[in-house]
Amino acid sequence: MKRIPSARSAGRPRSRAASAPVKRIAILTGGGDCPGLNAVIRGVVRAAILEHGWEVYGVLDGYDGLLSTDRLRRLYSHDVRGLQMRGGTILGTSNRGNPLHYPLEKKGKIRYADVTGDIVRNLRAMGVDVLVAVGGDGTMKITQALFKKGVRVVGVPKTIDNDLDATDVTFGFNSAVSTATDAVDKLHTTAESHHRILVVEVMGRDSGWIALEAGIAGGADVILIPEIPFALDRICAHIEERKRRGSRFSIVVVAEGAYPTGGEKIYEKPPGAAGVPGRLGGVGKWTADKISLCTRLETRVVVLGHLQRGGMPTTFDRILATRFGVEAVNLIAWKKFGYMVCLRGRSIESVPIARAIKQIKRVSPRGQLVRAAEALGIELGRVR
């Protein structure tokens, strides 16, 4: 890949003062992929070029791409033509290497170090005036750390879990819920035909937004979310009562972070040493096995997994992601660095990244959405 001119060779100032002119910006996508990322890229590129005449570069593979100076790609308007309808990200992404806690091998041993200083130096060497970071809470924490070190940054929130508290909704969530709802719709017919209990495991590490909304929309009989530890006996009693009333099948939607009362979350890969995060997975099978044991009914599990991240974004996500991208460019033009775009009501606004990463957004166990589910007769396993 062709190396772009350095700041020194391009005659660019090395000062990161907020008042310095903007001529070259870079955009990266971090964390897990989701529908709508390409629409953000398109919004940033077109608004930056058409309205301001700035150079736009894409960083390959998230923050990993800033650990060297040869992983930038110049982006032109024609590069993003029709991009709003494509899923994934043309820049690639990574959710493994955290620059704040980056694994380094020395003499056969792994140690973890903060390498954000290397990123700061590389950005200056490449003459990047502003960095636009698109990602979830992990990406935003890294972005805030760079801002504190003098990098001019703007954040764009992304997560299918919809668990960023600073914005009413994130793009990717609507697409994920649509995918999960479609799966639940289709599983109804096979569950009913074979008189089975089908347990559908969806994403949601700490929040149950996907499970709750897809479960309600798809007509699930049981919904299990991280915010409400579930009592297995209540689930089994609900399923058995349905059978007594003539319903010979049931659909259970469970978020990957859900767990039983008095129990713990179930991990496919447990958390490692030195703060290395684990990988959730297996609560669907665990729940299916327990239901089968206590009801003696045939029970199967379906794990949707990365299907929720893939595919084309919905119309809602295309529009929201595009608006986020354009507003990110506006923040740069206004010299409003260290801020993240967000949706408040119907308006695109902004919030300091430092505030955005303070807490995640969870489902309220007594909120309207939960009350609506229970009013429909959906069992959430709540201990009474």
* Model confidence, pTM: 0.91
- 268 and 210 co-located in one domain: yes
Active-site residue among 161, 206, 221, 317? 161
Answer yes or no: is 91 within a domain. Answer: yes
Domain that holds residue 300: 176-309+364-375
Nearest to 215 by CA among 192, 240, 181, 249: 181
Percentage with pLDDT > 70 across the chain? 93
Per-residue pLDDT at 31 exceeds 60:
yes
How many structural domains are present in the chain? 2
Answer yes or no: is 83 within a domain. Answer: yes
Please indicate whether residue 161 is annotated as part of the active site.
Answer: yes
Burial label, 358 (beta-carbon count in 10 A; 0-12, 13-18, 19+): exposed
Which pLDDT score is estimated for 39? 98
Residues 151-194 have pLDDT tens digits of 999 999 999 999 999 999 999 999 999 999 999 999 999 999 99
Which pLDDT score is estimated for 15? 45
Answer yes or no: is 282 within a domain. Answer: yes
Residue 137 maps to which CATH number?
Answer: 3.40.50.450
Q: At a CB cut-off of 8 Å and minimum separation 6, what does 159 contact? A: 31, 34, 136, 137, 170, 172, 173
- 280 and 183 co-located in one domain: yes
Q: Stretch 54-71: mean pLDDT, rounded? A: 95
Q: How far is CA 109 from CA 25, 35, 101, 104, 105, in A?
A: 37, 38, 15, 8, 5
Q: Which of 5-14, 271-280, 363-372 has the lowest mean pLDDT?
A: 5-14
Which pLDDT score is estimated for 273? 54
Per-residue pLDDT at 14 exceeds 50:
no
- 103 and 223 co-located in one domain: no
Answer yes or no: is 384 within a domain. Answer: no
Per-residue pLDDT at 5 exceeds 70:
no
